[in-house]
Amino acid sequence: MGKLLAENYRRLFKGKRFYIVLAVIVGVAFLYALLFYFLNKLASRVNSGDLEGVEMDMSQMKMYADSLLFSMKTDMPLLIGITAGMLIVQDFRNNTVRNKIIIGHSRTNIYLSNLIVSETVMLIYELAYFVAVLVFGGIILGFKDFPSEDICINLLLTLPVQMAMTALIVFLCNTLKNVGGFVLAITMPYIVNIFSFALAFLNKHEKAQELVREAIPSLQMNIIIGSDGVPEHAVRMVIMMVAITIISTVGGILLFNKSDLK
């Protein structure tokens, strides 16, 4: 396992893709902060009457860096998939996986090493965005409530969701073993959100609708982001995400052990 991890980390940090996506994440945080800054300037000019002919009450529209903390949460799986997912798919395309098996590595260890490296990518990208928001958002906009207890807890609650999403990305890329799996992995959250309208059919069963929203990672992320405080069923939501991570990992390992590498 140690050698597999060392090789995967070497490939990860040697390639340009990891750093390009990292730069994009930091750049997005900076651009968001600038956008909010100029919107605040516009609101200030409207409120002071500097813009002739514009009569709007924008006194409640001042934006702070607090909201930036959650702005990239729904798009982070896409960026994680671009780096981690493609790393896995390239292993299959280059027959690297077959070579690892030939020299004695087990399929289980190969899968787990891919998962560990992918989860590492997720943590690095999440940390990079958080630090970028603290720096750029704090300097350009300032914070209003952060670090309040509710915001800190909700930030922590997003990590199990990202962990589950990353595990599903590894599952799809490792199971399909091709670019199709990679594309499906990075678009999965958006596909789920598109078809989430189907929950309307459960409008007479509020409990079932609530459970479905909490059980699907991308929908649970929407609950956390849209919550004014800590979600009511926070513990249950974390358990669901841990369960998805474990089930997808065990299922992925079983399928990988039975698959034929052509």
pLDDT in tens, the chain (262 residues): 888 999 889 989 998 999 999 999 999 999 999 998 888 887 776 656 555 544 554 445 677 888 889 988 988 988 998 898 888 888 888 888 888 888 888 999 999 999 999 999 999 999 999 999 999 998 998 888 888 899 999 999 999 999 999 999 999 888 888 777 777 777 777 777 666 666 556 566 677 778 888 888 888 898 899 888 899 889 999 999 999 999 999 999 999 888 877 6
CA within 13 Å, CB half, 220: 29
Q: Residue 58: what pLDDT? A: 47
Rg (CA), the chain: 21
What does the alpha-carbon distance between residue 91 and residue 171 come to, in Å, rounded to a whole number? 14
Please list, in sequence order, all residues whose beta carbon lies within 8 angstroms of the beta carbon of residue 91, skipping any fewer than 6 positions away.
Answer: 97, 114
Cβ atoms of 84 and 121 within 8 Å: the answer is yes
DSSP 208: H
Q: Residue 227: what pLDDT? A: 84
b/e string for 100-129 if b means 16 or more Cβ within 10 A? beeeebebebbbbbbbbbbbbbbebbbebb
Rounded to two decimals, what is the model's pTM?
Answer: 0.87
Polymer length in residues for the chain: 262
